Amino acid sequence: MFRIVAQNIIRFVLLVLLQILVLNNIQLGGLINPYAYVLVILSLPIETPRWLTLLIGVVLGLSIDVFTRTLGMHMTATIFLAFLRPVVLQYMAPRDGYEYGTTASIRDHGYLWYLTYAGILILLHHLFLFFVEAFEFENFFRTGLKAILSSLVTLVLVVILQMFTVNRKQSQI
């Protein structure tokens, strides 16, 4: 139990630092903004209670907002992500349910499952974030394109970060 908590705290700190120090300085053509900090919520153990997931979402989003001066935009988008996570997990659950102690990861569920899971949640997070940021529907298609392109880059980045934890003998396709 302590090991899991310690791993999640370390993941939290490292991903917030990566986001603040590196990824916030990357904006390709004004359309692509990678947000790897969502991996904190995506990688929580499956049996994490909803209230704890929401609390982690508040702290995570607020941490990003403090350093980027975005007035709660990341916090609301991260709470939205944390709120939808159990719904997506339930939708994607195997017939027998999830084994106790598994995380939502490539290592535990395979590449196809993870790409679907992370892709859905990252896209929804980015759509919410970018439409809250724009706060208008005047540039609807540009904002949608920005969300889609940023989601794709973030998904690739998240999968690369997940691959650091994959044990090749255990991974499934």
pLDDT digits (tens, 9 = 90+) for 116-159: 999 999 999 999 999 998 887 788 898 899 999 999 999 999 99
Q: What is the mean pLDDT of residues 67-72?
A: 89
Which class in CATH covers the domain with range 2-163? mainly alpha
Query: Which residues, other chains included, contact 20 with Cβ-Cβ below 8 Å and sequence gap of 6+?
Result: 64, 67, 68
Q: What is the distance between the alpha carbons of residues 141 and 145, in angstroms, rounded to a whole number?
A: 6
Tokens of 35: 């947000």
Is 26 or 83 the better-scoring residue by pLDDT?
83
**Which residue in the block uniquely carries the two structure tokens 């939808």?**
84
The dihedral through the CA atoms of 37, 38, 41, 45 has a sign that is negative
